[in-house]
Structure 1
């Protein structure tokens, strides 16, 4: 086993491996990882066995801790369809030995949730167990297996009907600024927070990944935006990254209409719809009102897990 530190010379090889992997998504291409600029000290790794690339591990170093990856929704081992359990056990063995020699104190590892896998790809979870990893954070997202949808609740059905009676319409949109104003206002008013991405960052990512990042908006009869959502589309998942509605949109059921459109019309052939997490404080607090709204569409729990290996 040979481990190499990522440099820009590996960019083409890295991206090609992600593209053909069994669990990679566009969030793990180098252009996405590197949009953060200098916020993270990149320390991504490539694993070779007998000269063949078998796995990638996006990551960065901070205070003698290796993170995979603070700037990403998920990190963890990216594996080819030929990668097997013994390969990943060997990769973890070499990784932990190497990190101990380098004085690195721990590994913080965000596993890729199973809904993003194109093939079964949980060899890393077994390797984490074998290396006495501790589950240190678990967040609940709400997902729908689209081919086996659960019926909507009556409350969600009423919201959709209210929106239709109010003559609201959903369409794919390029009015990023209009949506961003609603999103920023909601986050600032309710949580005193800003979106994780700035508008400039999202526009940059949209330019680099036009087939994966999409905006849908809801307009009223006067053609004003009253709600919108930003979708991150992978091979298996349509994931809501941001969703927000104006006061008018909330009163008229715009969010219900929008989510139904994403599930039933925009992505009816996608394997999963993922509505995003409803937890805070490293998973220790569940926003019950928020998850109840998502469960009203028939969404059920998918966990986003973070593990720690103390070296």
Structure 2
């Protein structure tokens, strides 16, 4: 028999242990990552137990009468182990909906975990969403990914950029200079969208300090040290994900990002297990495709992986 309760701070250690053995967990679900923005998102996560042991977890936050899984993360969704069955997942959502109704929750917004993050197949939740919760797909973003065991030849436009960067003597290396990268990122977002990065510089420094093996920065610079651009990488068991990518005007003119990704893909990550994921190329809840951005990612061999969001009424 399953039991569902709200997460509390006393569960943190066992929660984190469960994330590491789950079929689809990543360090984004570690409480040391999730809770960095606890002041902005009212945690309303759930722990599912069976015979006294954790059988599943649901990272979530509450805003008014809506439960989100999760507003502060790229993806949310139910975490399970390989022992979890489709029938049990259906039961979990049936019981969860009863509990949510008692709590005054009227709707749920659920960002499922894309399949590239799954250690083994783990889409039982998608079946339960449509057949138990009668959920509707409300938004679909598209990312660009490829297998690191099958790195494809770059397009001529990307190879041309690599040659240009090489002629300009651009250097690429792992870096700790988050401030230089964040300034480039912030300047670009301000100029184009009058916006700022989702993470502040202080937050990125905090998270990189907590997860130095998982969060890595690669930078392209001139020979005299001028920062031209970079990417912040999130490494998980199955996916190397570019959380942020940005280049200065000089970097764009000199082909800095082309050389940067040639180095990262072919020198650092090629041949390892899993996928390289460039992240979303959509705006306005997936309704607007940034054609220039996705064209660039496809030039490195990336092809479509969807990030979906579902919604249902309680």
Distance in 2 (CA, whole Å) between partners of 1:8 and 1:310 is: 28
User: Structure 1 residue aligned with 2:278, among 275, 278, 282?
Assistant: 275
Q: CA deviation at 1:30?
A: 0.5
Superposed CA deviations along residues 65-114 of structure 1, whole A, max 9, x for unmatched, are 11000000001001112111111111001001111222211111010111
**Which stretch shows the higher mean deviation, 48-57 or 152-161?**
48-57
Distance in 2 (CA, whole Å) between partners of 1:175 and 1:61 is: 35
Superposition pairs of residues 130-279 of structure 1, within 5 angstroms? 130=131, 131-268=133-270, 269-279=272-282
Q: CA deviation at 1:249?
A: 0.9
Distance in 1 (CA, whole Å) between partners of 2:262 and 2:276 is: 11
**Which stretch shows the higher mean deviation, 24-33 or 185-194?**
185-194
**Counterpart residue number, 1:23:** 24
User: Does the alignment pair 1:291 with 2:302?
Assistant: no
Is the CA contact (8 Å cut-off) linking 1:182 and 1:244 kept in structure 2? Answer: yes
Superposition pairs of residues 12-51 of structure 1, within 5 angstroms? 12-51=13-52
Superposition pairs of residues 81-96 of structure 1, within 5 angstroms? 81-96=82-97
Say which SS state the counterpart of residue 186 (structure 1) adopts.
helix
Distance in 2 (CA, whole Å) between partners of 1:258 and 1:266 is: 11
Is the CA contact (8 Å cut-off) linking 1:108 and 1:307 kept in structure 2? Answer: yes
Is the CA contact (8 Å cut-off) linking 1:54 and 1:87 kept in structure 2? Answer: no
Structure 2 gaps of 5+ residues are: none
Distance in 2 (CA, whole Å) between partners of 1:308 and 1:4 is: 22
Distance in 2 (CA, whole Å) between partners of 1:290 and 1:219 is: 22
Is the CA contact (8 Å cut-off) linking 1:238 and 1:270 kept in structure 2? Answer: no
Is the CA contact (8 Å cut-off) linking 1:144 and 1:299 kept in structure 2? Answer: yes
Structure 1 gaps of 5+ residues are: none
Superposed CA deviations along residues 257-309 of structure 1, whole A, max 9, x for unmatched, are 11121211121114111111010111111111111111111100111110001
Quote the RMSD (CA, aligned, Å). Answer: 1.0
Say which SS state the counterpart of residue 151 (structure 1) adopts.
coil
Q: CA deviation at 1:176?
A: 1.1
Distance in 2 (CA, whole Å) between partners of 1:296 and 1:174 is: 28
TM-score, with normalisation over the residues of structure 1? Answer: 0.98
**Counterpart residue number, 2:108:** 107
Distance in 1 (CA, whole Å) between partners of 2:135 and 2:75 is: 17
Distance in 1 (CA, whole Å) between partners of 2:63 and 2:49 is: 25
Superposed CA deviations along residues 124-153 of structure 1, whole A, max 9, x for unmatched, are 011111121100011001111121223211
Say which SS state the counterpart of residue 149 (structure 2) adopts.
helix
TM-score, with normalisation over the residues of structure 2? Answer: 0.97
Q: CA deviation at 1:37?
A: 2.6
Distance in 2 (CA, whole Å) between partners of 1:8 and 1:237 is: 29
Equivalenced residues, count: 311
